[in-house]
Structure 1
Amino acid sequence: MPAPQPENAETSRRGFVIYAIGQSVASTGTWMQRLAIGWLAWDLTHSVGWVGAMALTELVAALWVAPSSGVLVDRSNLFRLNLLLQGCAMLVALLLYAFTETGMMTIWLLWALALADATWQGLAQPARMVAVSLLAGPKHMAQAIAVNSIGFNVARSVGPAVAGSIIIYFATPMVFLVNIGAFGTMALVLLVLRPALNRPGAASRGAFLNDVVAGYRYIARTPPVATIFLMVLAFSLLGRPFTELFPAIAGQMLGGGPAMLSLLMSAQGIGALAGGAWMLRRRSIPALARVTYGAGISMALALLGFCIVGHGQIAIALIALAGLGHVMCNIGMQSLAQLFAAREFRGRTMALYGLIFRAGPAAAAALIGGLAEWFGLAPLIGASAVACALCLSAVAFTRRGVFTPERTAPAAPPPRAGDERGGL
């Protein structure tokens, strides 16, 4: 018997709109906090190494959090888990404010708090993704993820600008104080959406390690989900690293400075916003898969063109096109993963997705950066882009017909009386 659908389309849409607004505010706070932590590390030490060490906390946290976070999401009451993690965000911001304002902050304490911040972010990522699937439902999944992507890209631009202004006109501790309010806004949104999110975990409780292994086994043995992860690996390791390499691209390939870096990031951001807007249109599952493959291949070809052109307005336009393809491909892959992953494995599926998406580009960018000393940056980015296009094309050809509506996971049933029991 098929699972019942969410209460009604209007209620589902209204709930997601509220969630998206709260998430945009919280994301702005997250980007504000990242800039403030980096600046505080520089202010305390004047060491580029320590600034890099703060950025490294995200990769460290992703590697050790991802295997457990998916199991935690699948087992837990989603409302309680998200509310708890939002409380952790507020606590970290409060500690950052208190230690900085009182002059007790040290660089090692800042690193520990940055690691704590990255840890709760890693735990929260799959919980947020699954919340989107519950609120939006299968019919509006791609549009919901597109709205989230637009909010994320706006927050990535607005957050650092707001944080910089606060640091200039007030002081660094004030950024952390404002963030408590930003994260608190999301906590209030979760309380409003409690009826929609308050349901027990979908997965049965076994031995924790066995559940982790079961999640990886499920991904490998489920053809649509395995196909998505082949796409994610090609995209993350071969295509997406260009965003991590922007400082080197601006300085070495384009011979510019901070202004050129800002221009590259702006062009990529404009393309990303356009890509998110393009994905707001509702599509059938086969059409969504075709758009996803096409967007990833287009991104790779735009990067290859950029490496060939090498300078001028055409090169900047190609970066914007790469940004458009990058976001469209990500939205498509994430939508397909949520649609085809069974509810009891969705947390583990999205946790691994998040790990590859966060750690893959960082590792690939480090490898390209090291090899660039011998082979040059442009040839390596171009070769990586060609490999990305070839891999995505091979997956599309060998796995054609795998994304059919009949293989999608059933919709989650609506919450029932008593669903608040069980789980976290």
Structure 2
Amino acid sequence: MTIFRSLRHYNYRLFFTGQSISLVGTWMQRVAVSWLVYRLTGSAFLLGLITFLSLIPSLVLAPYAGSYVDRHNKFKILIITQIILMLQAGALALMIWFKYYDMFWIAGLSLVQGLVNAFDVTARQSLMVNLVEDKEDLPNAIALNSSVFNAARLVGPALAGVILSTLGEDICFLINFVSFIAVLVCLLMMKLNLQAVQKSTENIWVDLRKGYEYLRSSPDLASMIIMMAASSLLVIPFTTLLPVFAKDIFNGTATTFGWFESAAGFGAFFGAIYMATLKKRNNMQKIIIFSALLLAVSVIALAISPSLILALFCTGLAALGLMAQTSSINTYLQTHADDAMRGRTLSYYIMAYQGVLPIGSLLMGYFAHQFGTQTVVAFEGVAGLLIVVAYIYNEKNRHSVKRNRVHFAN
């Protein structure tokens, strides 16, 4: 089938299999951590703080990680990061198993996860181009990778909701620990023919500056990264507040929170399937605009939803828009960035997405505590609409300037 065409590549098939198993455990842990923190503290601010700590290293380290990955064997980096993330999940499981509910250590382990992810995500994204021999299949591979991520987001939280209500958070952490075995086995079975990395003799900070200058000279790439950063700061943090919707606004339990996360996974999964059916020639910029609009409108609808069913539906639509937006930006960057600059370009994308998100989560968690969750989420949706308008205006202005330069040159 066309939608699964990238699975004909042996290395990508192994990667896809390992990720399919491990990501279910990852989502179970994410839900368990969020529920544990809110159950123990009842604080939307602390909920945002934990998300902040797990993602803030991407803001600080992503550009450095991009240069580091470009200089070293990305496959070996991925093996090491997966082992460390496995140990982090095991440490969480042991803490909760012995009922050691210490927010300091929970926050510390979340920070460790964020530090490792800064390198793990960059290495994983940069390796993608080496997993498919036919580069025409790269957009499909990226979309399928997103689909398995969001399929896990559908299954993981649903399982977590049941396990949290019956067995406890520690079992979720233990399952995540065990799931990393699948990734490591699949990675070690790969037959990669990576070219020897020619290490730069220049200081790594010089490489960082080159990445920044490359983006300055590529306004189409830069504008997408800026749009991603604005969305991560002002719109996407609505996901951090879903436990508040589940527990306080709709008077639910851990199972209700699992429904919200699964609804988001369901919508994002369909968004990923749609992206996987696209061909390389499709206009990614139009998809970015329409998906960002869908995200913004759905977030506003979530904020004013009078019933749980409608709120779950709006959460699914918002996740569909978010999935299509992030996947289309990722695909555009991977297919338009120069080979020598791909790692650094993707590192800025990761910084804009995962790095700025914790700042947004912290801010929105604080504002939700001050002004109410529904008011803040409605503001996030309105901000999303303004971001789309700004992006469209910038693109039209850029193309107008480009046409004028061509006209004067002739």
TM exceeding 0.5? yes
User: Which residue matches 2:406?
Assistant: none
Does the C-alpha gap of structure 1 residues 354 and 167 become closer, same or farther in structure 2, counting only changes over 3 Å?
same
User: Which residue matches 2:138?
Assistant: 141
Question: 1:181 deviation in Å?
Answer: 2.9
Question: 1:113 deviation in Å?
Answer: 3.0
User: Which residue matches 2:408?
Assistant: none
Q: Distance in 1 between matches of 2:99 and 2:302?
A: 47
User: Which residue matches 2:187?
Assistant: 190
The 5 Å alignment of 1:286-325 reads 287-304=283-300, 310-311=305-306, 317-325=313-321
Contact 1:301/1:389 (CA < 8 Å) preserved in 2? no
User: Which residue matches 1:159?
Assistant: 156
Does the C-alpha gap of structure 1 residues 163 and 205 become closer, same or farther in structure 2, counting only changes over 3 Å?
farther
Which structure: greater helix fraction? 2
Contact 1:74/1:347 (CA < 8 Å) preserved in 2? yes
Q: Distance in 2 between matches of 1:247 and 1:355?
A: 25
Q: Distance in 2 between matches of 1:319 and 1:96?
A: 29
Contact 1:75/1:204 (CA < 8 Å) preserved in 2? yes
Question: 1:48 deviation in Å?
Answer: 4.4
Contact 2:153/2:264 (CA < 8 Å) preserved in 1? no
Question: 1:336 deviation in Å?
Answer: 0.6
Does the C-alpha gap of structure 1 residues 229 and 37 become closer, same or farther in structure 2, counting only changes over 3 Å?
closer
Question: 1:297 deviation in Å?
Answer: 2.6
Contact 1:73/1:126 (CA < 8 Å) preserved in 2? yes
- 1:330 aligned residue (311, 320, 326): 326
User: Which residue matches 2:397?
Assistant: 398
The residue identity in structure 1 corresponding to 2:306 is H
The residue identity in structure 1 corresponding to 2:383 is S
User: Which residue matches 2:9?
Assistant: 13
Does the C-alpha gap of structure 1 residues 181 and 200 become closer, same or farther in structure 2, counting only changes over 3 Å?
farther
- 2:251 aligned residue (230, 236, 257): 257
The residue identity in structure 2 corresponding to 1:145 is I
SS at match of 2:29: helix
- RMSD value, Cα: 3.6
Q: Distance in 1 between matches of 2:378 and 2:166?
A: 44
Deviations 1:311-348 (A, max 9, x none): 35666544433322221111100101111222222222
**Which runs of 5 or more residues in structure 1 are unaligned?**
1-8, 403-424
Contact 2:90/2:177 (CA < 8 Å) preserved in 1? yes
Does the C-alpha gap of structure 1 residues 86 and 194 become closer, same or farther in structure 2, counting only changes over 3 Å?
farther
Does the C-alpha gap of structure 1 residues 26 and 310 become closer, same or farther in structure 2, counting only changes over 3 Å?
closer
Question: 1:374 deviation in Å?
Answer: 5.8
Does the C-alpha gap of structure 1 residues 68 and 384 become closer, same or farther in structure 2, counting only changes over 3 Å?
same
- 1:199 aligned residue (195, 202, 208): 195
Question: 1:74 deviation in Å?
Answer: 0.9
**Which runs of 5 or more residues in structure 2 are unaligned?**
402-410
Q: Distance in 1 between matches of 2:198 and 2:332?
A: 19
Does the C-alpha gap of structure 1 residues 223 and 96 become closer, same or farther in structure 2, counting only changes over 3 Å?
same
Q: Distance in 1 between matches of 2:400 and 2:140?
A: 23
Question: 1:83 deviation in Å?
Answer: 1.2
User: Which residue matches 1:277?
Assistant: 273
Asked whether 1:124 is paired with 2:120, we answer yes
User: Which residue matches 1:405?
Assistant: none
User: Which residue matches 1:386?
Assistant: 385
Q: Distance in 2 between matches of 1:48 and 1:90?
A: 28
Does the C-alpha gap of structure 1 residues 399 and 327 become closer, same or farther in structure 2, counting only changes over 3 Å?
farther
The residue identity in structure 2 corresponding to 1:392 is Y
The residue identity in structure 2 corresponding to 1:142 is P
SS at match of 2:356: helix
Q: Alignment length, in residue pairs?
A: 388
Question: TM-score under structure 2 normalisation?
Answer: 0.79
Question: 1:100 deviation in Å?
Answer: 5.8
Contact 1:231/1:395 (CA < 8 Å) preserved in 2? no
Q: Distance in 1 between matches of 2:98 and 2:272?
A: 42
Q: Distance in 1 between matches of 2:231 and 2:187?
A: 32
Contact 2:50/2:110 (CA < 8 Å) preserved in 1? yes
The 5 Å alignment of 1:70-149 reads 70-97=66-93, 107-136=103-132, 138-149=135-146
Deviations 1:346-386 (A, max 9, x none): 22222221122124344335445555656943652343132
Q: Identity percentage over the alignment?
A: 26
Asked whether 1:217 is paired with 2:217, we answer no
The 5 Å alignment of 1:36-51 reads 36-37=32-33, 46-48=40-42
Question: TM-score under structure 1 normalisation?
Answer: 0.77
Q: Distance in 2 between matches of 1:170 and 1:302?
A: 34
Does the C-alpha gap of structure 1 residues 231 and 159 become closer, same or farther in structure 2, counting only changes over 3 Å?
same
SS at match of 1:201: coil
Q: Distance in 1 between matches of 2:258 and 2:397?
A: 40
Contact 1:296/1:389 (CA < 8 Å) preserved in 2? yes
The residue identity in structure 2 corresponding to 1:242 is F
